[in-house]
Amino acid sequence: MSDLPFTIVKASSVARILKSNPHIIYDVVKESYMAFGGGRAENPNSLFLTFNKLDEHSPNRIIALPAYVNAASGLAGGIKWISSFPKNIERGLPRASAVLVLNDLSTGFPYACLEGAHISAARTAASAVLGAEVMCNGNRSARAVGFVGAGVIAQSILDCFLSLDWSFEEVHVYDLSTDRTRVFQSANADRVDSISVSTSLNELVTKCDLIVFATTASSPHVTDASLFHHNPRVLHISLRDLSPAIILESHNIVDDAEHCLKARTSIHLASEVADPERFIAANIYDCFDGTGSIIHKAPNDRPAIFSPFGMGMLDIALAMFICRSAVESGEAVAVSGFFSAH
């Protein structure tokens, strides 16, 4: 067998490339959604490996997300393997860790392995900001943005907002952990005009017209629909914070209806009491025309919520861009003889 190439891209290289290319990251995510909507991508259902037979109360899981996408940025295929172990935070470790494997779609052979947690956070952030732009009808501004949860994903979303020149008069944050809240406030104090810590989730929600839920909640804990009577735009990134009643009273956009109606997400729970066609207004890829211009208008007479389940094709498309960039910059690590037994 000839010496087929195999490349490894470490976290430090992945992080540098992502930080240096926020507009490209955003464009790749948008193009990938449009490719999926146009039938140029496959994104099978995610496979969840849980550990309930070891511990029936275990929140731990590892998720496999295979996909391929043929977008403007190129043809890419592979799989993301990401774990979520919430108690890692208590050990001083990140909650999520991941790798991405890219396959040569002419031979099927894997040709690259990349650290995936940074990619996952970046695509989540770009997807969130894309959803915000749709719900704000193309405007890249809000009077007050609030973050419920002050972890890695919240920081990644704020980074993406600022990199894409969004403007906010106020930034608010609330987290059950006062330590994480202080870190978030300190890290961003010089980057925004005003950042303050809310004393409760209710206080934050009522103050903000753009709200980001980025928690580790496993079931709905926000049940008071009156909190949303000022009709904010809501990025429901953690998927399980809001009660079905709040979902049913809102204008809902999802990344893909088929994918989000599972795994006990708030959207899934709402579908158990009402027909999804009643409350899901659009898939994100239906919100653009062929040129990428926004054609969906979110109403202002009720809350608008974007709930992205998370599609592996976004990670795969970003991984291909990062792998190419790492090879070009000399940061990729080539492994000779990976597939050879001699």
- Span 164-173, mean pLDDT? 98
Burial of 263 per CB tally in 10 Å (0-12, 13-18, 19+):
middle
pLDDT for 2 beyond 70: no
Q: Kindly state the helix (H) or strand (E) to which residue 102 belongs, with its residue range.
A: strand 96-103
pLDDT of residue 84: 92
Mean pLDDT of the chain: 95
The CA R_g of the chain, rounded to the nearest whole Å, is 20
CA torsion 16-17-20-22 (nearest 10°) is -120
Pairing of strands 195-197, 210-213: unpaired
Pairing of strands 61-71, 47-50: antiparallel
- Span 119-135, mean pLDDT? 97
Domain annotation for the chain: domains and CATH numbers: 7-120+313-334 (3.30.1780.10), 137-310 (3.40.50.720)
pLDDT for 85 beyond 70: yes
> For residue range 278-292, what is the model confidence (pLDDT) as tens digits?
999 999 999 999 999
The answer to whether the CB of 331 falls within 8 A of the CB of 9 is yes
Q: Which range has the worst mean pLDDT, 81-95, 136-150, 240-254?
A: 81-95
